[in-house]
Structure 1
Amino acid sequence: MSPLVPLGIALAALGLWLALRLIREAAARTRARANYFSAVRSLFDGGETRVQPTGFPRMTGRRAGLAFDLQAIPDTLTFRKLPALWVLVTLPEPLPLDATLDLMARPSGNEPFTRFADLPQSLPTPPELPKEIAIRSDDATRIPPPDLLARHADLFTDPKVKELVLSPKGLRIVILAEEADRGRYLIFRDAEMGREPLSPARLEPLLDRLAAIRKDVLALMDPA
């Protein structure tokens, strides 16, 4: 028997093992992404989850009578130091506001989840907010009173909070939920994220904050 025959068999076996391993890893990655919001379902009274083309889910549900919408958006654009996973927590309940007010921490102009750069008017940052917060609006003359921002300025003491949006259509908070592992990304270009589900402890304060902001907006805009 040629000595090359055992080598060929060994290489074929190795190739088969690698292929099976890749298939298993791909399946596990698909399951992990699709279940990213599975741990937070208990925070809502019912709801619906559908998987987006990215493999991550979008979830809607009701909490304390209010409708919420959750989205997980991966950001793997090359200009970022590390790929990121953003979570958009939205309260799409109409508000008596006449303009959109958008607060963004450290804006780059390339965020894939926002209309911040499209809003035409830039506003000064109030002293209550960190200096790295930029503010834009589509009508600065019709934004909510400054007291409202001052009351919720502590939201941005969390360095993972990226954006707060107040609009006639509702409210939104965007957080940086995860970044790709630096070592694996730099060496293997592995940008996989979402291996672990979003935790209820991370999400619940954001839901409560949005409900509190909504309550304050209603009180300020309609004191009666």
Structure 2
Amino acid sequence: MENLGLGILSALLGIGMVVLAVLTHRASRTRQSLRHAYLGDCAGLFDNARLAAIPGRFPRLNGHYRGHLFDIQAVPDTLTFRKLPALWVLVTLPAPLPLRATLDFMVRSTGIEPFSNFQTLPDQIAPPPGFPEDCRLRTDDPTELPPQSVLIPHAAIFDDPRVKELVLSPKGLRITFLAEEANRGRYLIFRDAELGAVPLPRRDLVAHLDALVSLKADILDLEAAPERKSA
């Protein structure tokens, strides 16, 4: 009788493990499907849009907007010291620019931003007037900064409280903004940190695309009007 009971228990455990494996597999497929669709609405903004699927991660979107090539990435941040897990979107305009230094403007820096190289830049300096009080500026060469007359008009990028970072470099430009935070109740009770279940609306992206196009134009004007470098 005892052996029969153990046999039934073992069978039930086996069935439970199979059911758990099936449910886990289904959840994984659902998660990947949702993530693949995350940038789907935004793809309509671009000419020759291309969504590159990355197993286990969010896809990467690139294409041309107003004649400029853009690269869009969604990066989850689930570091345990954060109040809530977050999903960041990196909007990058890769293009050679007449800059001799990298500038990284960061607001509310925690010291560990998984999407950024902010902490690796050696020099921290005061940002120009007009940038938020909690904004920090780091660079790899403080002697080669573009003139403040170019930078100050673009401080308005940080008027959007979701914007976290603005990067200018000889290789291109980037804005990083907060797209989503995990549901507080589900995270605190169930430790559910799932992000990206709802596609990113294209309206959340347009302003950042336009801001980088405008900033690129002003930087290129430096090359066309070199006397502004001393402004």
CA contact (8 A) 1:125 1:131 kept: no
Conserved 8 A contact 1:54-1:74: no
Aligned with 1:194 (options 173, 193, 196)? 196
CA RMSD of aligned residues (A): 2.5
Match of 1:178 in 2: 180
1: CA distance between counterparts of 2:105 and 2:176?
A: 10
In the superposition, the TM-score normalised over structure 2's length comes to 0.87
Mapping for residues 23-62 of structure 1, pairs under 5 Å: 23-62=25-64
Q: Deviations over 1:158-187 (max 9, x none)?
A: 111000000000000000111111111111
Contact 1:98 1:168 in 2 (8 A): yes
Deviates more, 1:41-50 or 1:206-215: 41-50
**What is the DSSP-based 3-state SS (H/G/I as helix, E as strand, rest coil) of the residue aligned with 1:71?**
strand
Q: Percent identity?
A: 51
Counterparts of residues 58-69 of structure 1 (less than 5 Å): 58-69=60-71
Aligned position for 1:157: 159
Q: Give unpaired runs (5+ residues) of structure 2.
A: 1-10, 227-231
Instruction: Tell me which residue corresponds to 1:5.
Output: none
Normalising by the residue count of structure 1, what TM-score does the alignment of the two structures yield? 0.89
1:85 to 84, 87, 97: 87
| Structure-2 change in CA distance of 1:148 and 1:53 (3 Å) | farther
> How far 1:49 sits from its partner (Å)?
1.5
Which has the larger displacement, 19-28 or 150-159? 19-28
Structure 1: gaps spanning 5 or more residues: 1-8
The aligned counterpart of 1:135 is 137
Is contact 2:104–2:139 with CA below 8 Å preserved after alignment?
yes
Q: CA deviation at 1:22?
A: 4.5
* Deviation of 1:48 (Å): 1.7
Do the aligned partners of residues 45 and 21 (structure 1) sit closer, same or farther apart at CA in structure 2, a change above 3 Å counting?
same
1:70 and 2:72 correspond: yes
Match of 2:5 in 1: none
User: Which residue in 1 is equivalent to 2:229?
Assistant: none
SS at match of 1:38: coil
Aligned-partner Cα distance in 1 for 2:17–2:143: 66
